[in-house]
Amino acid sequence: MSLADENTPITPDAPDADELARMRQARFEKIGKWTLPVIVMVIMLVAWDRIVVLNEIPHYILPGPGLVIETLIKDWPILFDALLVTLQITLMALAVAVLGGVGLAVLFTQSRWVEMSFYPYAVILQVTPIVSIAPLIFIYVDSRLAGLLLCAWLVAFFPILSNTTLGLNSADHGLRDLFRIYGATRWQRLRYLQLPSALPYFLGGLRIAGGLSLIGAVVAEYVAGTGGIGSGLAFRILEAGYRLNIPRMFAALILIAGSGVVIFAGLSFLSHMLLRKWHESALKRDG
């Protein structure tokens, strides 16, 4: 209440000008978050369509958005099967990355020797581009599926490993002291203190790893090339490229990008649900 309020008494529940402005701002942001990207997309699609139509670009060079959608529907049986193959590899790789990443992180924090011995190699695997390792993998690994999985895993496991290691080591020192006073065993400290402390870090790594395992799966399919069980989306893009079926390339591309968005959104939702009760990152500030 400032002095100026004396002449214009206001009831506590009547919002003043500042508050109205703040509410307007909040409403604008809430609506804008969804409408603005949609508007941008509509403009882009219309521009794309106009450019194709006005310049009379042939569909084997650049198809219009309408044709891409049409192809997506027409080729759905082929593309959907391919999508399932790619998603299968992606999710399996993510699952193995979680097991491997968390498992290694726990090993690393339990034993300095293990960490010192193996951490450099984890880094080397991470920084070596997967396209340069993948051909070797497909020479030595007979099973196509195992080869694809291995490639996707190599790309995806590192963020989980490094984030989880950081999380396990960042348990509060006061809490460590407390656990020592309570005579907690090593296992109890891991189970009741370090793993829950690492959860937010792990989930951050998981969101990155979700996108990376899709990239790993797609890259591996490209390297594996045609044949075998390789009939995922990347294989369909390659195949369509050889046949100059550009609309199908775009349709498959849309499915890959869409899958990536869905995976990211799904993992973000999972993260929110697990942390919303207690972690700072997920709590709404009141005031």
Partner 1 sequence: MRLTGSARIGDTPIFKDLDLSLEAGAWTCLLGASGVGKTTVLKLFAGLDEAVTLSGHLEAPERVALMAQSDMLLPWLSALDNVVIGAKLRGDRVDLDRGKEVLSRVGLADQAARKPTALSGGQRQRVALARTLMEDRDVVLLDEPFSALDALTRAQMQDLTAELLADRTVLLITHDPLEAARLGDRIVIMTAHGLADVPVPQGRIPRALDAQDVLQTQANLLNQLRMPS
The helix (H) or strand (E) run that includes residue 224 is helix 195-224
Q: Does 170 bind partner 1 (CB under 8 A)?
A: no
* 183 vs 227 by CB, closer to partner 1: 183
Can you tell me which residue has the tokens 């591996």? Answer: 220
Q: Choose among 235, 236, 210: nearest CA to 220.
A: 235
Task: Give the shortest CB-189-to-partner 1 separation in angstroms.
Answer: 9
**Main-chain dihedrals φ then ψ at residue 94, nearest 5 degrees:** -65, -45
Q: Of 96, 175, 208, 238, which one interacts with partner 1 (CB under 8 A)?
A: 175
> Of 186-245, which residues contact partner 1 (CB under 8 A)?
188, 192-193, 196, 199
Task: Give the shortest CB-201-to-partner 1 separation in angstroms.
Answer: 14
- The span of 6-14, 67-75, 178-186, 237-245 binding partner 1 (CB under 8 A) equals 178-186
Q: Does 172 bind partner 1 (CB under 8 A)?
A: yes
Q: Does 76 bind partner 1 (CB under 8 A)?
A: no
HSE at residue 256, side-chain half, CA atoms within 13 A, is 24
The residues, ordered by sequence, that sit 6+ positions from 110 with a Cβ below 8 Å of its Cβ are 186, 190
* 59 vs 279 by CB, closer to partner 1: 279
Q: Which two tokens stand for residue 1?
A: 């209440």
* 32 vs 196 by CB, closer to partner 1: 196
Task: Give the shortest CB-88-to-partner 1 separation in angstroms.
Answer: 33
CA 67 to chain CA mean position, Å: 29
Q: Does 123 bind partner 1 (CB under 8 A)?
A: no
* Rounded Cα gap, residues 15 and 7, in angstroms: 16
Q: Does 280 bind partner 1 (CB under 8 A)?
A: yes
* 18 vs 280 by CB, closer to partner 1: 280
* 22 vs 276 by CB, closer to partner 1: 276
Give the total of residues touching partner 1 (CB under 8 A).
Answer: 21
Q: Of 42, 57, 136, 283, which one interacts with partner 1 (CB under 8 A)?
A: 283
Q: Choose among 159, 156, 163, 158: nearest CA to 93.
A: 156
Task: Give the shortest CB-186-to-partner 1 separation in angstroms.
Answer: 12
Residue type, 100: G
End-to-end CA distance of the chain: 17
Q: Choose among 21, 22, 83: nearest CA to 234.
A: 83
Task: Give the shortest CB-193-to-partner 1 separation in angstroms.
Answer: 7
Q: How far is CA 141 from each of CA 46, 92, 137, 220, rounded to the nearest angstrom?
A: 47, 17, 6, 13
Task: Give the shortest CB-177-to-partner 1 separation in angstroms.
Answer: 5
Which residues of the shown chain bind partner 1 in the complex (CB under 8 A)? 172, 174-175, 177-184, 188, 192-193, 196, 199, 277-280, 283
